Chain A
Amino acid sequence: MDIIVSNVLVLVGIAFAAAIILYLVSQKFNVEENPKIGEVESFLPGANCGACGKAGCHNFAESCVKASEEEFKNMYCPVGGAEVMKKVSNALGYAAVEKEPAVAVLKCNGTCENAPAKIHFDGISICRLADKISVGQTGCPDGCLRLGDCVKVCKFGALSINPETGLPTVDEEKCTSCSACVNICPRHLFEIRPKGKNGQRVYVACSNKQKGAIARKNCKVACIGCMKCTKICPSIKVENNLSYIPPEVSAAEFGEELVKNCPTGAIIMTKNSQSQNEDNNG
């Protein structure tokens, strides 16, 4: 019995002494932190994805608190979007920064059907390496390699390889436009574009810079740089046999005409979300 009592007393004594030491040390090395940083951080998504250009969410919160009103205008968390930024700006007392919601789009439509595989690739399934050692299964030097580096890098589960087309598909609901896929793709096939009104976007789903005849050999829906689209909308530019539709071009105004007039079908327009729902129901 005595042993138990003495043991308990000794342990309590050690615990008490340690607590005093810890208290003194924490007083001595205390770092004052602006409480606002913690507050701002609590609003952020906490994914630490780096889409804002900072090292992580805490770093972003720190920069927001330190920033002057002018600097704060350049701060934006694309993952949290307008909602989060509103909370952040309220907490800091600045005007809210607003940006149009954006989404990643794949600038390649070389599906299994449009660009049938010519080569059997049985190396390691990493696009970055496959890009170095071969042109890829389709024969298109700028097309999707279908090995899914983008799927692996996406922290939000917004990307998946569609087994029918062989291409990655973007889940618009989950995509936070963090640009991770844009940076990882060795062929730079992703672009962050504004979601557009009612989810309507028009863009060139091709990145092939070869001459038209060569490009078409490998892929039915390659952009051949025929310049037809530039006549419909003068702000469209064709460079290196490849057309680029700037995000400002209104899908509602030009979209249907562009899609109709593209001889190869390289221009794609997403349906607006309402009609998409109807399609699904019907």
Chain B
Amino acid sequence: MAKKKTFPIGGIHPDKHKITSDKPIVDAGLPEIVYIPVKQHIGSPAKIIVQKGDKVKAGTLLADADGIVSADVFSSVSGEVIKVEEVEGEFGYLESMITIKVEGDEFASSIDLSPDLIKDIPYEPQEIIEKIRSAGIVGMGGAGYPTPIKTSVPEGKKIDTLILNGIECEPWLTADDRLMIEKAEEIIVGAKIINKVLGIQNAIIAVDENKPEAIEILSKLTKTYVGVNVQVCKTKYPQGGEKQLIKAITGREVPSGRLPMDAGCIVQNVGTVFAIYEAVQKNKPLFERIVTVSGDECQNPQNFRVRVGTPASFLIEKCGGITENTNQVIFGGPMMGTSAVNINAPITKLTSGILLLSEELSRKLEETDCIRCGKCVDACPVGLRPFLIAQYTRNNMIDELKGINVLDCIECGSCAYICPAHIPLLDYCKIGKMEVKKTKK
């Protein structure tokens, strides 16, 4: 096996807590009501095309992509649309959602429900992109950038490597891990599909060394597929970051403020690749995803296959409910996820986990003065100076912030994690970015 790779500067080693990595994916079942947000991606919200009282099936188009940077939204259940208005979302703000009352479980007739693996890819590249677009697929790693844009390479740019991101560097989460174990071959066929679109023969599945089962299964299978290889990476956070992963795998640096395409790479999350496989080979739009429900206050941690729009509280109930000691409910991973204000908020295409954390793991530590130890500088995977960003942000020094490239921050939170003075460096970086962006407008 080839040498294990990792990115050269920065990074931290938080406790892994991957307690659900041996729990098979189970179907979460159907809730009584689902709330489907029309904006589950970066860009403009989709335009709603259904009305109150409409009957829908799983796979029915609910909202149409509005513009290029947008994505279609599909119904995940069969039933009746009972409300098309604003509902309280994850942060407590009202968001535009389609509320559907679940009746039975019918799928749209175009979807191929058979479990068979289809290896042949008879479609032309343009057809494939069209299929991806009409399945409403977005990057499921968390950013939610519409996939059709990411896969269509503009003229003049040359792509030679497709990287499948199976790193999952966030603690607790195991959704991608389980998907790689249970749907390994589908993911490889998905990689072949994207390769066909890009016209290349080189796909690398990057997996962290802390996922031995996935590595074993994938390496066995990739032997029969030409051009698809597994690359084991040394565990380090935030290896799942796009630019960090490219640096680790290919040794190339993505220039500041540019896209991975400029380094000749395209990175896709394994969840996205699986969704692409289902969309192209099975005609199934993106309305399901894998969600890890875990945390030290979760009584029965599990990996679920969840319909988009399922309220998080439904999943939490399935795992034993909220205990008295639960201090925080987090949507996503503990490093980059957000603390939820409303646990009835729905699972979206981007929610990879729900974490119930006790006070011990989630309390705010008292902030003391910076002692200039430089640990944050060592930990920053982009090579920034977080302590300086915090200082400039506090004093509102916008030009200086621009000078130290605050916009390159990927908000991974390594600096705040490592800081012995418990300074909320990540928060300062976020504000610094906000202020700099404001002056650009």
Contact = CB atoms under 8 A, between A and B. Distances in A.
A1 B221 CA distance: 96
Given A134-B92, A135-B92, A141-B92, A119 B341 contact: yes
Interface string B403-435: 000000000000000000000100110110010
B323 interface: no
B434 A141 contact: no
Nearest to B88: A135
Dominant secondary structure of chain A at its interface with chain B: loop
A65 B94 CA distance: 51
Interface residues of A, number: 16
Interface residues of B, number: 15
Interface of A: 119, 122-124, 126, 128-129, 132-136, 139, 141, 210, 214
Contacts of B92: 119, 134-136, 139, 141
A134 B431 contact: no
A124 B93 contact: no
B434 A134 contact: no
B90 to A, nearest CB: 9
A265 B305 CA distance: 49
B431 A135 contact: no
A141 B364 contact: no
B225 interface: no
A141 B339 contact: no
A141 B427 contact: no
Given A122-B364, A134-B92, A135-B91, A128 B431 contact: yes
B94 A141 contact: yes
B339 A134 contact: yes
A139 B339 CA distance: 15
B93 A123 contact: no
B338 interface: yes
A124 B341 CA distance: 16
A126 B431 contact: yes
Contact of A134 (B91, B94, B363, B424): B91
A119 B92 CA distance: 10
Given A126-B431, A135-B92, A141-B92, 12 more contacts: A123-B427, A124-B424, A124-B427, A128-B431, A129-B427, A132-B430, A134-B341, A135-B91, A135-B341, A136-B92, A210-B94, A214-B94
Contacts of A132: 430, 434
A214 B428 CA distance: 33
A122 B434 CA distance: 21
Of B92, B424, B430, B431, most buried by chain A (CB within 10 Å of CB) is: B92
A135 B339 CA distance: 12
Interface string B334-364: 0000110100000000000000000000011
